[in-house]
Amino acid sequence: MAGIVHILNGPNLNLLGTRETDTYGSQTLADIEAACATRAGELGLSVEFHQTNDEGVLVDRLHAANGKAAAVILNAGAYTHTSIALHDAVRAIEVPVVEVHLSNVYAREDFRHRSMIAPVAAGSIVGFGARGYLLALQAIADMRA
């Protein structure tokens, strides 16, 4: 299978760089995408990015990655804590999914302490800011080695 990693970003991540910068940092989603493209190339991978505020589109993108992508990096945003549909979609596909969150969700409000994604993901990376995406790419490269 090709070394394509789908990087899926959920609600409000299009506002990175301007939204709650004390929590999410000052990098924009475009900045993160550029860093991921560079790092992926260094690791012999390629990346496809998608951002949506729509839960159903994330489900569709997960389904589309199945059998086509080497892996998925998923930052489901707030849907992480509420979406049984995303849980089921991750569980249903055969490609590994790495969950990423910019902030340490376990150091925030209680309702953010439960992830619907983590139990069915290959792994979770939280609290390292934009570097979390790069750590996820490294983890995926290591899993493929």
pLDDT for the residue numbered 62: 98
* Owner of token pair 């493209």: 37
Number of domains in the chain: 1
Range of the domain at 84: 4-144
Structure tokens at 108: 């925030």
CATH value at residue 95: 3.40.50.9100
Total residue length of the chain: 145
pLDDT for the residue numbered 5: 98
Kindly state the DSSP code that residue 47 receives in the 8-state scheme: E
Catalytically annotated residues? 24, 101
- Residue 144: which residues within 8 A CB-CB, separation 6 or more? 3, 70, 71
Mind listing the pLDDT tens digit of every residue in the chain (145 residues)?
469 999 999 999 999 888 777 777 788 999 999 999 999 999 999 999 999 999 999 999 999 999 999 999 999 999 999 999 999 999 999 999 999 999 888 777 786 788 999 999 999 999 999 999 999 999 999 999 8
Cβ pair 35, 15 in contact under 8 A: no
Q: Which phi and psi angles does 26 have, rounded to 5°?
A: -100, -5
CA distance 90 to 11: 17
Structure tokens at 68: 């086509």
